[in-house]
Amino acid sequence: MTEVPWSTPMKSAVKQVRVIGPSDSTETLGRQRQRLIPCITQETCGASGISAGMVNMAPGAMSKAHYHAHSEIIVICLRGTAVSLIGPELTPYFHGPGQFIYIPEGVIHVAVNLDETEDLAAVEMRTDPLFNDDVVLTPEYDARVPDVVAELRRQHLIGS
């Protein structure tokens, strides 16, 4: 068996144990307008049914409305105040540090950093081994999002 140095970056379709941090990957801008750092993927370690990475959102940022055609998603908020607008009604689901949200495949959603002054950081796991391959944009919902978010921010300030 060949020993592989831990610090050697590798890309392989062969399954292998890897320790990968965000600094080992390149941040990309997803079709849904999210800053993504894919870490565990088919490309990096041969994963065939799962992927994981970081999602970073600037203060006040929001994604485009979208769904993942075949992938289930789990998001764990690490820092910040997130709200995910879910379904055609854009129903808000709030989640903060240490909280998980599960979104089934095919469910329309919009990720929002509710805080207008602090970044949001999250870990996202998907059943898409390529991490962002099955994103389908739903622009018919985008026009309503700013109004929904403005009202949620107003309510959030009143409740603080």
CA distance 129 to 74: 14
pLDDT digits (tens, 9 = 90+) for 32-54: 988 999 999 999 999 999 999 99
Confidence of residue 13 (pLDDT cuts 50, 70, 90): low
Indicate whether 3 pLDDT > 90. no
For position 66, what pLDDT does the model report? 97
How far from the centroid of its chain's Cα atoms is residue 26's Cα? Answer: 15
Q: Are 82 and 112 in contact (CB under 8 A)?
A: yes
Q: Are 97 and 141 in contact (CB under 8 A)?
A: no
Indicate whether 5 pLDDT > 90. no
